Amino acid sequence: MPRKPKTIPGPSRLSKVLAELKKGPTLHLTGLRGLSLTLAAKNDHFGARHFVKEELPRIRYANPNINVEVNKLPKSISDVWKPEMVVEFDDGGRSVIDMSKKWSTTIAKELMDLAGGDPWKQHKANALAAGLPLLPGEGQERVASSRLRVPKLKAAPRAEVLEALVEDMLSSPDRPKTGAAAVLP
């Protein structure tokens, strides 16, 4: 029986995680004691939840001495409260960053503008001069914000709004056929 050819394994999961934590720019914060985040556990506060998943591990890796507290609270549809991040400085001062209806990169930029110090200012100046995004993923933020937004209809109940949207979509003449309708005459 012939031997199996030797293959070179790809990068390990740990090396991928480490590469993600170390990708530039380094999000080093100066003069901070701690961060305290409060957001919905699910079904709302999407930008804040994405910030906790994507940007906060990078911040935590670059700043091991900062206390980070994340409070994910249950939130129902009828509850109305906004996600926020409380930034505690070494001198005892506090600042609150409102994270509602913001992209994770926007939240990270606000935090870095608040406590990034001189390295962040230097990176920001270099990136703006070169026409590059400040953070990875910022290009998606710009594309999404330029798209057409559907106005909110608060007066009509949900069922009526959904029916109106479906009827509008079905009556659109430039709508491409999909599924079985694309193959049938």
pLDDT in tens, 122-170: 998 998 898 888 888 777 765 555 554 555 555 556 677 777 777 776 6
Whether 164 is in a domain gets the answer no
pLDDT at site 46: 87
pLDDT at site 141: 67
Whether 1 is in a domain gets the answer no
Whether 48 is in a domain gets the answer yes
pLDDT at site 148: 45
- Helix ranges (H only) for the chain are 13-22, 46-50, 56-62, 104-115, 117-130, 138-146, 158-171, 180-183
Asked if residue 36 has pLDDT above 90, the reply is yes
pLDDT at site 152: 57
Q: What is the DSSP letter of 162?
A: H
Whether 166 is in a domain gets the answer no
- In degrees and rounded to multiples of 5, residue 162 shows phi and psi of -65, -40
Determine the average pLDDT of the residues in 84-91.
93
Whether 153 is in a domain gets the answer no
pLDDT at site 111: 92
Find, among 111, 116, 95, 103, the residue nearest to 146 by Cα.
Answer: 103
Q: What is the DSSP letter of 52?
A: I
Whether 31 is in a domain gets the answer yes
The structural domain count of the chain equals 1
pLDDT at site 94: 93
Contacts of 75 (CB under 8 A, 6+ apart): 40, 41, 42, 43, 44, 45, 81
pTM equals 0.69
Q: How would you classify the pairing of strands 32-40 and 84-89?
A: antiparallel
Whether 123 is in a domain gets the answer yes
Confidence of residue 69 (pLDDT cuts 50, 70, 90): very high
Q: For 6-17, write each residue's pLDDT tens digit.
A: 777 788 889 888
Beta-bridged to residue 72, according to DSSP, are 39
Q: How far apart are CA 87 and CA 5, in angstroms?
A: 55
Tell me, what CATH number does 128's domain have?
Answer: 3.40.30.10
Domain containing 19 equals 14-146
- In degrees and rounded to multiples of 5, residue 87 shows phi and psi of -105, 120
Whether 86 is in a domain gets the answer yes
Q: Please report, rounded to a whole number, the percentage of residues in the chain having pLDDT higher than 70.
A: 80
Residue 115 in contact with residue 87, Cβ under 8 Å? yes
